[in-house]
Amino acid sequence: MRSSNPVMSGRIFDKAAAVSTDSGVMTINGTINKTGLMLLLVIAAASYTWKMVMGSNPAIAGTFAIAGAIGGFIMALVTVFSPKSSPFTAPVYAILEGLFLGAISAIINAAYPGVAFQAVLLTIGTLFTMLFLYRSGRIRATPRFRRGVMMATGAVFFAYMISWIMSLFGMPVGFIYSAGPLGILVNLVIIVIAALNLIMDFDFIEKGSQMAAPKYMEWYGAFGLMVTLIWLYIEFLRLLARFSGRD
């Protein structure tokens, strides 16, 4: 079992499946319920930040964004390296990412009204579209499909890392962030790659339940799916902002 989503690696599921537990086993319905709960936490935290930024204290946006991004990254690392802790760390990750998403969404929406809501709709629509394609068998997580998505996701990660490192030296990679045709094309390609990662996540959740992984892996599976959804939302938000900036 493999996934291009780094938090859904096959080694983690293999190791979890080998752990004996009396607390039950992972199920698809249980993972869905926990994904729904994490979504509610993200929405609640994002709504709080949104109201703070758009209302009485817009200057606090940067604080929420930085705290949420760094805190969410730390919680993600803890969850990846200690899947048993996911029943505690995954909800905290959702709250912190909600603070981050609420802040950046409010900032971008203030500049380009309506883009945040459109990004939410596009993310939800992509989620259900990919779920339909997966459940209907139109897209299957074959070994060749996995390798292709893994390579593409790795290339995106590498490009972002290079861009970030170069920006530290005052030499940002312009086309990645530009509103020109090349920047929009790159953004669209990344969105497609993120959407294909959803297929991998669905497959891993299904395989995890078939392998009778421990119950706590429901939280871990929900966490992995949320990582992809948050990535997808951010990319949609960037794309819509680019289109709005061209008007």
Tens of pLDDT, residue by residue over 111-159, are: 899 999 999 999 999 999 999 999 998 898 888 999 999 999 988 888 8
Tens of pLDDT, residue by residue over 60-113, are: 778 888 999 999 999 999 999 999 999 999 999 999 999 999 999 998 998 899
Name 25's bridge partners.
Answer: 214
72-80: long-range contacts at Cβ-Cβ below 8 A with a sequence spacing of 24 or more? 72/96, 72/97, 72/100, 76/7, 76/223, 76/227, 79/7, 79/220, 79/223, 80/6, 80/7, 80/12
Amino acid at 138: R
What does the pLDDT read at residue 6? 57
Residue 28 confidence class, pLDDT cut points 50, 70, 90: very high
Determine contact, residues 84/23, Cβ cutoff 8 Å. Answer: no
Backbone phi and psi for residue 214, each to the nearest 5 degrees, phi listed first: -60, 160
What does the pLDDT read at residue 156? 87
Structure tokens that stand for 173 in this block: 């990679």
d(CA 143, CA 69): 33
pTM of the model: 0.87
Tens of pLDDT, residue by residue over 155-207, are: 888 888 887 777 767 666 655 666 677 778 888 999 999 999 999 999 989 99
For 116-130, give the secondary structure using H, E and C: HHHHHHHHHHHHHHH
Amino acid at 56: S
